[in-house]
Structure 1
Amino acid sequence: MVEAIGWQGWLTVAVIAATLGLLLWERFTPDKILASAALVLMASGVLSPAEALAGFWNKGVLTVAVLFVLVAALKTTGAIRWIGNWVLGRPRGLLHAQARTIGLAAPLSAFINNTPIVAMMTSAVEHWSRRTGLPPSRLLLPMNYATILGGMCTLLGTSTNLIVAGLVLQAGLPPMNMFTPLGVGIVAAAVGLAYLLTIGRWLLPDRRSAFQQARADAREYTVEMLVEPQGPVAGLTIGEAGLRHLEDSFLLELIRGNDVHPAVAPGMKLEGGDRLVFVCGTHAIRELHLLEGIRPATDQVFKIEHGDGQRTLVEVVLSAFHPAIGRTLVAAAFRSHYNAAVIAIARRGQRLHGKPGEVELQAGDTLLVETDSAFLARYGGSADFLLVNEIDGSGAVDRRKAWGVLGALGLMVVANTLLGVDILLSATAAAVAVVLARCVSLVELRRSLDLRLLVVIGSSFALGAALDRSGVATVVASALGQWSAADPLTTLILVYITTVVATEMLTNNAAAVLMFPIGLAAAGQLGTDPMPFIMAVMMGASAGFITPIGYQTNLMIYGPGGYRFTDYIRVGLPLSICVGTAVLWAISRLWPF
């Protein structure tokens, strides 16, 4: 059977293996890796150009693209923040806080993509944490898992479900509607949420967030220096004075009179009386004292947590698409590009010590930056960042427009479920409505449209098509059938487990596209209804609980929660087992063999 796949099959296997390796290496962005894989399959003749590019006009992918408009409107108007502030209120204790976050996140994510929900609620949870003293590590992971569980319940809940629905249409099968996954999804959500509020809550770590660690360190090692009026550096630029290339410290900002200049440019000229704020370790303070023409300020007035309208502290989490991934801050010109000075970097929940400018950045790194007050408006919807959170800032909520966006979203759901309107058509109508109502500007929409994610999804379809065309999917399905002794339920379990493993190693969308043809081939060889295997792939591709890379929102809370990789395994592995058991039980009852 293995020999029957030919050179096309072996090339497909090699391309998929190389893709997996490059994604795990994180040296290149996922869009470049997946697009290159699709190009290789097309250039080699495994796929025709039409087959390699078919994913980009798949109905599920087009629906994901249209929903970016609604996501941008939800962010811009502050609709999710408004709902969160109204529902969350003031918790009476840790269990009450966990129940409120989970109780809000799960139902919201059934109808709204979970990425903006996690972004907005992460900000709310961090404010809660500072006000009440509750550790964010006990709140963010349950909230994140709740959004994944809620997203399993409808086609709108996650892009994975929409993509599988698009693959179903592409395969010529009966179309899925908004609530086709509800039966299985609600059982999985009920079991998963019960676990999170019982056993799971005792497995959560009690830890400060990466921001709290970074702020404490930065406050401890902030040094203020004065430029002497007649000193040798007065009249020189920052660069000429050698202040941008110190060994163990870096210049954070310049204060001149009442004006604050964060992320000061190297060409700015120094004047007598300027206050220079440096961030450094205790061993680097001597280096500053030896500089000629500047002296320590006797009245240290700088406070890193002080917001005066000219400076603001922002916490960002780098996405896998950020152009600085694999490069240092200096090489990527981060300061000048974003007009933001990086105070500290956290990775895998821990503060990285040393000069931030010398750190080679990775996806998921949490950066604490000082910048101007317009940073959030400029980059709040940028695909460069998974999370942009203004510290101690609440953000404005436009209630009238928020009602408009929520109303359009509600009408979209009603049109799809009660009136039978195609989901792409109803989503497009809702998107046009919010744009015409000026709930989101074209500038904000352009920033929020994640073209690189669409490239990843569209290119993933080429890998799935290659598995199908080359015969690899049939071979894998045959192997699963042999391992299960041709028992449909056992084969279903193997398909689900394989999909979960693929999700944890790749991404949810790529796992769904790769496993879909294998699931269909398994159903065909067994002579059974393909729907149980389709649902197993759909649910398994969303069940990314065990690693930070299994699901995008897992990465978003990595730094803000101060988590370690092992935290995801300790809390997520039992959750994955509970949810998997619930999913397989529900599928076998709803679609019996």
Structure 2
Amino acid sequence: MEVTALTTLATVAAVLLTLASTRIAPDVILMAALAFLVIIGILTPGEALVGFANPGVMTIAVLYVVAAGLKETGAIQWVAHRLLGQPKQLRQAQLRVLLPAAGLSAFMNNTTVVAMFIPAIQEWAGRLKLPPSKLLLPLSYAAIIGGTCTLIGTSTNLVVDGLLQTEKGVALGMFDLAWVGVPLVLVGGGFLWFFADRLLPNREGVLEQLESAREYSVEVSVEPKGPLAGKTIQEAGLRNLTHGYLADIERDGRLMTAVPPETDLRAGDILIFIGAPECARELRRIHGLKPANGDVHKLDIAHHHRCLVEAVIGPDFAGLNQTVKQSRFRSRYQAVILSISRAGKRLPGKVGAIKLQVGDTLLLETGQEFVEQYRYRKDFLLVSALNDSTPPDFRKAPWALAILGGMVATSALGLLSILEAAFLAGGVMLASRCVTPSKARRYVDLSVLIVIAASFSLGAAMNKTGAAAQIAQWLMLADDLSPWLALAMVYVMTVVFTELITNNAAAVLMFPIAMAVAEQLGVSFMPFALTIMFAASASFMTPLGYQTNLMVLGPGGYRFTDYLRLGVPLSALVAITALALIPMVWRF
């Protein structure tokens, strides 16, 4: 093997290892690999940047705008509330979750679908007295499987279609994948319907754990002639209590939330501490404070000034592996952490001393603007207000759904390509004010687009240097290897890559290898390309393999073993079904 091929393989291995074992942002890693391949001369700048001009990548970018219109108008909630209904049994409730989740994710980004369904299902499950742990993981899995039914169902499908267009001159239709995707929904959805209740635990989510999170609030006032008036919170020694912490200050009838330590105390300020009952006894020892409003009482979560927010920590959170205090969470986000849940359990002890990890679910008390400010940021995977009583404006929801339907119809009938239909739908969303241009920009996930586009450079280098052909040769255990067995090997490799790195990067890396395998076997490349599409979406065994799996981790109160218990048999069923059907639809 030539030096360039060895260098390319070493680069790919380094990228995989770095993605799997570090917290460095994937877009940074992939762009560094792209730059390295250009600098050492393996790729020309034009070859390295070809992914940024790929039609699949551009289609994904435009579909973010379409998804923004659907989300901003509350179209998903509008549909969800009509389909969820009032079931009397858990089995009926699961069916009412599985069907709309799979159906909606076939036509829009499944991350958006799951993000919109989670708060709706939490409220719905609480009203019907059903455990959210029986509903939220099936929601994620149904959305993943539903995305395999159409070309626009997942970004992975569009990426592989873009590769087929640029390298093979083949373009797939909107519903070409349905021949395999619909049976997968029936098989996978049927499994979830029959076995999710038995295999998933009856466990509380973060909202149900609130009652035991930080049960008491203590209100004290600053004495007018006492020693604390005029001092900052830090100088008064109110930031280092053992049994509680200062959450809010009520001053002149106005509630100040998440107050920073440099805030000056004024005579008559009412200080609201949250903590264990011992907090009151601790505060009595501080000279200059006196009880206010009866001293100790249960924490009133419906306080009209407060906004309770649930947030799931994402891989880009700035304070990973730091304690809450070290991360300066309060001053950075202007929010107070009431409780932290991990692996389905509330973490005991002092909140400020807990180290934050990916997937931790935080129960926050903050201002009303927090949700809007951080909903589009990458610090958190999910941000939702728990006591937000403001109903969405559904007036344009039918318009948004009609635009989506028009995009699907014009593409399915062959009137426009998927990219052209997406451009038209995105433009109409903006023109009809279903979403404003400023909010549409926030929805476009540049980091995901960069990861996908930069991944193309690795695939191009593997093709150009012969590294892909070499890997394909290693996979050929015998000269007379069956195409079915080769297809299964490609499927398994793609699933492993997907669990380790992002699904889109896995698809781009596996594409040249799969094409080389097909070439060496002398068979059609189409079954192999479609196998990558379905395998890259089949991430059910870990919460980290697919974003929607991580999003339901905290709200459902799940542990890693729950994903294995339900995900392993589901992965096997999906693999068997896909590998049996793909060669029947796209012949070798």
Partner of 1:118 in structure 2? Answer: 114
Cα distance in 2 for residues equivalent to 1:32 and 1:248: 42
**Cα deviation code 1:88-117 (max 9, x no counterpart):** 122211111101000110111100111111
The 3-state SS of whatever aligns with 1:559 is: coil
User: Which of 171, 193, 202 lines up with 1:206 in the alignment?
Assistant: 202
Partner of 2:440 in structure 1? Answer: 445
Do the aligned partners of 2:148 and 2:181 also contact (CA within 8 Å) in 1? yes
The 3-state SS of whatever aligns with 2:514 is: helix
* 1:296 CA drift (Å): 4.8
% of aligned pairs identical? 45
Partner of 2:129 in structure 1? Answer: 133
Change (3 A) 1:377 1:476: same
User: Which of 14, 18, 22 lines up with 2:14 in the alignment?
Assistant: 18
User: Which of 147, 153, 158 lines up with 1:157 in the alignment?
Assistant: 153
* 1:485 CA drift (Å): 4.3
Partner of 2:456 in structure 1? Answer: 461
Q: Confirm whether residue 101 of structure 1 aligns to residue 74 of structure 2.
A: no
* 1:378 CA drift (Å): 2.7
- Relative to the length of structure 2, the TM-score reads 0.94
Do the aligned partners of 1:256 and 1:275 also contact (CA within 8 Å) in 2? yes
Do the aligned partners of 1:31 and 1:321 also contact (CA within 8 Å) in 2? no
Aligned length: 587
User: Which of 545, 558, 561 lines up with 1:563 in the alignment?
Assistant: 558
Q: How does 1:477-496 map to 2 (within 5 A)?
A: 477-482=472-477, 485-496=480-491
Partner of 2:46 in structure 1? Answer: 50
Cα distance in 1 for residues equivalent to 2:502 and 2:412: 29
User: Which of 579, 586, 590 lines up with 2:585 in the alignment?
Assistant: 590
* 1:87 CA drift (Å): 1.1
* 1:229 CA drift (Å): 2.8
Partner of 1:292 in structure 2? Answer: 287
**Cα deviation code 1:17-68 (max 9, x no counterpart):** 3323332334322222222222222223232222222212211111111111
Q: How does 1:168-317 map to 2 (within 5 A)?
A: 168-213=164-209, 215-246=210-241, 249-281=244-276, 287-297=282-292, 298-300=294-296, 303-308=299-304, 310-317=305-312
1:83 aligned partner, one-letter code: V
Cα distance in 2 for residues equivalent to 1:18 and 1:295: 61
Cα distance in 2 for residues equivalent to 1:136 and 1:407: 31
**Cα deviation code 1:428-447 (max 9, x no counterpart):** 11111111111112332232
Do the aligned partners of 1:160 and 1:542 also contact (CA within 8 Å) in 2? yes
Cα distance in 2 for residues equivalent to 1:284 and 1:523: 69
Do the aligned partners of 1:218 and 1:279 also contact (CA within 8 Å) in 2? no
1:187 aligned partner, one-letter code: P
2:376 aligned partner, one-letter code: G
Gaps of 5+ in 1: none
**Cα deviation code 1:191-246 (max 9, x no counterpart):** 10110011333111110013432x23333254433323322112212232232344
Change (3 A) 1:344 1:45: farther
Cα distance in 1 for residues equivalent to 2:138 and 2:96: 11
Do the aligned partners of 1:69 and 1:445 also contact (CA within 8 Å) in 2? yes
Partner of 2:62 in structure 1? Answer: 66
Q: Confirm whether residue 8 of structure 1 aligns to residue 4 of structure 2.
A: yes
Cα distance in 2 for residues equivalent to 1:101 and 1:80: 13
Partner of 1:378 in structure 2? Answer: 373
2:485 aligned partner, one-letter code: T
Do the aligned partners of 1:68 and 1:448 also contact (CA within 8 Å) in 2? yes
Do the aligned partners of 2:134 and 2:196 also contact (CA within 8 Å) in 1? no
Do the aligned partners of 1:27 and 1:326 also contact (CA within 8 Å) in 2? no
Do the aligned partners of 2:249 and 2:271 also contact (CA within 8 Å) in 1? yes
Pick which of 400-409 and 226-235 moved more.
226-235
Do the aligned partners of 1:548 and 1:558 also contact (CA within 8 Å) in 2? yes
Q: Confirm whether residue 79 of structure 1 aligns to residue 78 of structure 2.
A: no
Cα distance in 2 for residues equivalent to 1:501 and 1:427: 32
* 1:403 CA drift (Å): 1.5
Do the aligned partners of 2:214 and 2:339 also contact (CA within 8 Å) in 1? no
The 3-state SS of whatever aligns with 2:388 is: coil
Do the aligned partners of 1:254 and 1:261 also contact (CA within 8 Å) in 2? yes
Partner of 2:340 in structure 1? Answer: 345
2:151 aligned partner, one-letter code: L
Change (3 A) 1:27 1:52: same
Cα distance in 1 for residues equivalent to 2:322 and 2:417: 44
Partner of 2:503 in structure 1? Answer: 508
The 3-state SS of whatever aligns with 1:212 is: coil
Pick which of 278-287 and 241-250 moved more.
278-287
Change (3 A) 1:540 1:227: same
1:577 aligned partner, one-letter code: A
Pick which of 51-60 and 136-145 moved more.
51-60
Partner of 1:40 in structure 2? Answer: 36
Cα distance in 2 for residues equivalent to 1:452 and 1:474: 30
The 3-state SS of whatever aligns with 2:211 is: helix
Partner of 2:329 in structure 1? Answer: 334
Change (3 A) 1:325 1:18: farther
* 1:304 CA drift (Å): 4.5
Pick which of 39-48 and 571-580 moved more.
39-48
Partner of 1:548 in structure 2? Answer: 543
* 1:591 CA drift (Å): 2.1
**Cα deviation code 1:439-479 (max 9, x no counterpart):** 11233223222111212222222222232223221122112
Cα distance in 1 for residues equivalent to 2:65 and 2:314: 20
* 1:508 CA drift (Å): 1.0
Cα distance in 2 for residues equivalent to 1:279 and 1:21: 43
Partner of 1:534 in structure 2? Answer: 529
Change (3 A) 1:27 1:10: same
Change (3 A) 1:426 1:155: same
Do the aligned partners of 1:507 and 1:549 also contact (CA within 8 Å) in 2? no
Partner of 1:361 in structure 2? Answer: 356
* 1:386 CA drift (Å): 1.8
Change (3 A) 1:284 1:30: farther
Change (3 A) 1:324 1:61: farther
Do the aligned partners of 2:23 and 2:315 also contact (CA within 8 Å) in 1? no
Do the aligned partners of 1:149 and 1:188 also contact (CA within 8 Å) in 2? yes
* 1:122 CA drift (Å): 0.5
2:148 aligned partner, one-letter code: M
Cα distance in 2 for residues equivalent to 1:58 and 1:44: 24
Cα distance in 2 for residues equivalent to 1:354 and 1:152: 44
Cα distance in 2 for residues equivalent to 1:501 and 1:520: 18
Partner of 1:145 in structure 2? Answer: 141
The 3-state SS of whatever aligns with 2:553 is: coil
Change (3 A) 1:167 1:561: same
Change (3 A) 1:327 1:468: farther
Partner of 2:493 in structure 1? Answer: 498
Pick which of 248-257 and 454-463 moved more.
248-257
Do the aligned partners of 1:262 and 1:371 also contact (CA within 8 Å) in 2? yes
Cα distance in 2 for residues equivalent to 1:70 and 1:335: 35
Pick which of 216-225 and 540-549 moved more.
216-225
The 3-state SS of whatever aligns with 1:555 is: helix
Q: Confirm whether residue 415 of structure 1 aligns to residue 439 of structure 2.
A: no
* 1:405 CA drift (Å): 1.3
